[in-house]
Structure 1
């Protein structure tokens, strides 16, 4: 992976984590046990510290950054969807930030909460645990049900399994010219939502 020491500060990646070869880590970055960092993700710790705690994931093309002296943290089993931007914020334990959402400086996303896709979470925003946060600017829409939290956790477990799958079996290759006979199917779990309560239908 492109990994850069800055002024004597070197990124830290736990041996059980997986960081894709085209993710970029710079400076004061700490990737904890069992974490997944996807292709194209950028963790730019040239000002503040960036921390991913155990079992968290940072998916494709996400960005983590922060102002000088700030700590941007994704707590244990945090789940950051494709294209999200985290800047100087804290994402609580077992919380989720949806695809293309932006969470700004000093914001605190409570544990077990979900920030909906494309939400804009303003500087200093805080939400209680187990909240659904939506909109631009984002507001607390309602409390999440235990079923919705369990759905989120199922998706996070798939990313934890993906960490192991990539460590064990991902390899660079040349593409085939034709579809191979008896092409195998990848054996991921079923993480599709069984309802639409977190989708566009609920937007105000």
Structure 2
């Protein structure tokens, strides 16, 4: 992975974490046990500290950055969807930030809360625990149900398993020229999109 020290500060990656080779880590970055950092993620600890705690995931093309002297943190089992941007904020334990959402400076996403895809969480906004947040600018929409919280936790579990799978088997290869007659499939998990789960599929 591209990993850079700046001002003598070197990123830290726990040996049980998985960081994709195309992700970039700069300076004061701490990646905790069992965490997953996806392809093309950018963790820029060149001003403030970037922390990914145990079992959290930061998916493809996400960006984490902050102003000087700040901490940008994803706590234990935090779940950050593809393309999200976190800047100088805190995502509490078991919370989820949806795809392409933006969470700004000094905002706090409460424990077990979910920020909807494409939401914009303004600077300084404090989201209480177990809420659904959506919109531009983001507002609390309602309480989350126990089923929704369980769905989120199961999804995070699939990324924790992906960490283990990636450490064990992900390797760079040349592509095949044609599809094999007996092409295998990646084993499916029991986790479905929330819309499918609500329909009972």
Distance 1:68 1:108 in 2: 18
Match of 2:136 in 1: 136
Distance 1:136 1:6 in 2: 35
Match of 1:71 in 2: 71
Distance 2:24 2:195 in 1: 35
Match of 1:123 in 2: 123
Q: Which runs of 5+ in 1 are unaligned?
A: 199-204
RMSD in angstroms over aligned alpha carbons? 1.3
Match of 1:15 in 2: 15
Q: Which runs of 5+ in 2 are unaligned?
A: none
Alpha-carbon shift at residue 193 of structure 1 (Å): 2.8
Match of 1:94 in 2: 94
Distance 1:143 1:196 in 2: 20
Q: Is the 8 A contact 1:158 1:188 kept in 2?
A: no
Match of 2:111 in 1: 111
Structure 1 consecutive aligned stretches of length 4 or more whose deviation exceeds 3 Å = 194-198
Distance 1:49 1:194 in 2: 33
Alpha-carbon shift at residue 73 of structure 1 (Å): 0.2
Q: Does 1:38 align with 2:38?
A: yes
Number of matched pairs: 198
Q: Is the 8 A contact 1:98 1:116 kept in 2?
A: yes
